[in-house]
Amino acid sequence: MTAMTWDGLVRVRGGDVWAADSGGDRPPLVLLHPGVGDSRIWDGLLPELTRRHRVIRYDVRGYGRSPRPTTAYSNLADLYAVLDHFGLHRVHLVGCSMGGGTALGLALRQPERAASLVLVCPGVPGYPWPAEPEADAEYDRLVAADDLDGLTAFGLREWAAAGSDPAAVAQLRSAARAWPGEDLHQQPDPPVFGRLGELTGIPATVLIGDLDRRPAIDCAEQTAARLRCELLRLPGVDHLPPLRTPDAILRVIDKPATR
């Protein structure tokens, strides 16, 4: 894995997040991980990305190397804090699932800060996700029982249709440790799905795997349509594209900036 020139804790309101910066004067690129993993999901892309970009990544509160939250927080506010810590005004954003929603939130609130968007199976705040009472009840039982193994298995069943290999298990186990604290303390960021048509000046690409869950596929399709941007379909890929097909993501990352 590529060594970072700096890594450590960044102060955010009411807590800290772990972040890393490859340094240098190349165009800055911020990697935002999904809610079914942590920032290590990008490890396979880093050697190539750091040749062309100054790469910043971080773990959302409670995920990976970031401390668990103890007070209310917002993913979007934490992204601003990380950008400000590194003195970054305008960046390219690559967001997977939850991270895609955070990237869209920044692009809508401060479009001058988003040079381009690569949205990998994006979770878009405000998208009308269908009700899933049975899955919600199972999740609540596992959280109440503090069943980390059960939560990990639940996450793998829901989001890792391409297989429960060790890398996928490690990602879902990291996420499962974070979910209870997230449920308690994360404040929802403003809905953006109904406003996607306002993003007219930022190059964007949406990627989605054909083994992802049907609501996630629908969300990606509608997001790409509202952004009027390319939708790239990934065969044999579930909700973990950075693990399953890093080369496909690498091919897209520089593309929006040159359109």
pLDDT tens profile 142-182: 999 999 999 999 999 999 999 999 999 999 999 999 999 99
Tell me how far CA of residue 189 lies from CA of 155, 203, 245, in angstroms.
23, 22, 29
pLDDT of residue 256: 46
pLDDT at 255: 73
Query: 164: which 2 tokens?
Result: 């429960």
Question: Cα(155)–Cα(159) distance, rounded to whole angstroms?
Answer: 6
Query: What whole-number distance in Å separates Cα of residue 94 and Cα of residue 52?
Result: 14
Residues of the chain with pLDDT under 70: 1-4, 256-259
Closest CA to 60 of 20, 16, 21: 16
Query: Tell me, what's the pLDDT at 188?
Result: 93
In this structure, the dihedral spanned by the alpha carbons of residues 214, 223, 91 and 35, taken in order and rounded to 10 degrees, is -30
pLDDT of residue 3: 56
Question: What is the structure's pLDDT at 254?
Answer: 77
